[in-house]
Amino acid sequence: MSEHPVPEPGSTDRARLDKLDERFRRTPAEERPPSLPEGRSVTKGRSAPGDLRLIQLSRHFDDFVAVDAIDLVVPSGSFFALLGPSGCGKTTTLRMIAGLEEPTSGQILLGETDITNTRPYQRRVNTVFQSYALFPHLSVLDNVGFGLRQRRVADWKRKAMDALELVKLADRAHQRPRQLSGGMQQRVALARAVVNEPDVLLLDEPLGALDLKLRREMQIELKRIQQEVGLTFIHVTHDQEEAMTMADEVAVMQAGRIEQLGTPGELYDRPATAYVANFLGQSNLLPLELSSGAGDGLVTATAHGFPVWVDATQLPAGAASVQLGIRPEKLRLLGPGSEAVANRLSGWVTDASFTGVATTYLVAMPWGQELTVTQPNDGSARAERGEEVTLGWDPHQAFVLAEAG
């Protein structure tokens, strides 16, 4: 489970959370939503709802398997991302968690409670969609407070204002949604969901309609808000950078299944399959024939007949042929003054593109494959197209895929 810093007593964040909590406790019991336990709080460290668990969860549409026996644990209070291409089953998975889609088989647990068959409104789950669906004729404040008013929550106005403060829109409370930018409207939609104090907040491509710059700003905002309220966020996206920037853990989905689960760093540095390696960034993949011989945690192998050293700890037991993956920024052009590296291969530069912070080279290898090399603009010598170059890499910075190429 990931740890988030709990605001110190006396800090403004802490004070705000305590205020929200205090308000909530003062709300008469009969005015609270039916499933709300006594004294529940959105603040961290108190009455945590427990982890969300999907057990062998499937959804079929006639013969088509949209979600295929998924097993997943989303730790309470974490920022979790479901990442995958269009049609891989992300929205269907979220809809089952929200209770909007009935699973064909499997179970959904929130803490110790089985919620597989409970009605959507009985689940402490809220969803923020790509289309924010704000009421155009209501003010921002009335939009955020709408659900609270429906449930006749006393003090709805102050709770809604607190939520607007959280998304930094308190000064826009009396405007109409159309007077706000797309990013602000998205934040209103978020405030409207957070104000209900759900155990789990589902976000289905909530930033999809925003332009790139606003999208990047909102990614940072969303992460801040999640850390501040400490709720479990499940964020669906097909943008790998978005998932990596925000999430504590990412589940990479393909065709209704979870291909790999891990932290952004684990998925990037140690992808388990070629699909994950290529979905999260770029990779150079070489077929490896393994042979005997070991030393210093490394074993020898050959790639297209050329000897290379491989990190022994990464090798799957019993495999004779695997693939070696090297990220473009882990490959270096070696010059006369370069430090010694275990692995070297020579080739010819077929393309060099300078982007300011770095130069990306395509280097043709003797067996015909072009490797991509990204060299930072750090003052080291640059190569020209047609030049013969030597590429080097540290065996520990490469990864091994158990599947043959």
Ligand X SMILES: Nc1ncnc2c1ncn2[C@@H]1O[C@H](COP(=O)(O)OP(=O)(O)OP(=O)(O)O)[C@@H](O)[C@H]1O
Contacting positions for Mg ion (CB under 5 A):
91
Q: Shortest gap between Cβ of 201 and ligand X (angstroms)? A: 17
Which residue from 7, 77, 89, 271 is in contact with ligand X, where contact means CB under 6 A?
89
**Per-position x/- string for 313-352, each x denoting binding to ligand X as judged by CB under 6 A, each - no binding:** ----------------------------------------
Q: How many CB atoms lie within 10 A of CB 61?
A: 11
| Minimum gap (Å) between residue 212 Cβ and Mg ion | 20
φ/ψ of residue 159, rounded to 5: -65, -40
- 250-283 burial string, b = 16+ CB within 10 Å, else e? bbbbbebebbbbbebeebbbbbbbebbbebbbeb
Contacts (Cβ under 8 Å, ≥6 apart) of 377 = 354, 356, 357, 358, 359
Q: Which amino acid is at 26?
A: R
Q: Of the two residues 91 and 359, which places its CB atom closer to Mg ion in the complex?
A: 91
Q: Which of residues 45-84 bind ligand X (CB under 6 A)?
A: 61, 64, 66, 84
- In this structure, what DSSP letter does residue 398 have? S
Do residues 251 and 261 lie in contact, with contact meaning Cβ atoms separated by under 8 Å? yes
Give the x-and-dash track for 206-245 against ligand X (CB under 6 A).
Answer: --------------------------------x-------
**Which residue minimizes CB distance to Mg ion?**
91
Q: Does 86 bind ligand X (CB under 6 A)?
A: yes
Examine residue 91 and tell whether it contacts ligand X (CB under 6 A). Answer: yes
Residues 54 and 180 sit within 8 Å (Cβ to Cβ): no
- Judged by CB under 6 A, the number of residues near ligand X is 12
Q: Least CB distance from residue 180 to ligand X, whole Å?
A: 25
One residue of 92, 127, 232, 374 binding ligand X per CB under 6 A:
92
Nearest CA to 203 among 46, 302, 97? 97
Amino acid at 97: I
**CB 100, min distance to ligand X, A:** 11
User: Judged by CB, which is closer to ligand X: 110, or 236?
Assistant: 236
Asked if 154 and 27 count as a contact pair (C-beta separation under 8 A), the reply is yes
Among 52, 88, 333, 371, binds ligand X (CB under 6 A): 88
Segment contacting ligand X (CB under 6 A): 34-42, 88-96, 138-146, 219-227? Answer: 88-96
State the amino acid at position 283 in one-letter form.
Answer: S
H-run or E-run covering 150: helix 140-150
SS3 of 117, please? coil
Q: Is 354 in the site for ligand X (CB under 6 A)?
A: no
Instruction: List contacts with ligand X (CB under 6 A).
Output: 61, 64, 66, 84, 86-92, 238
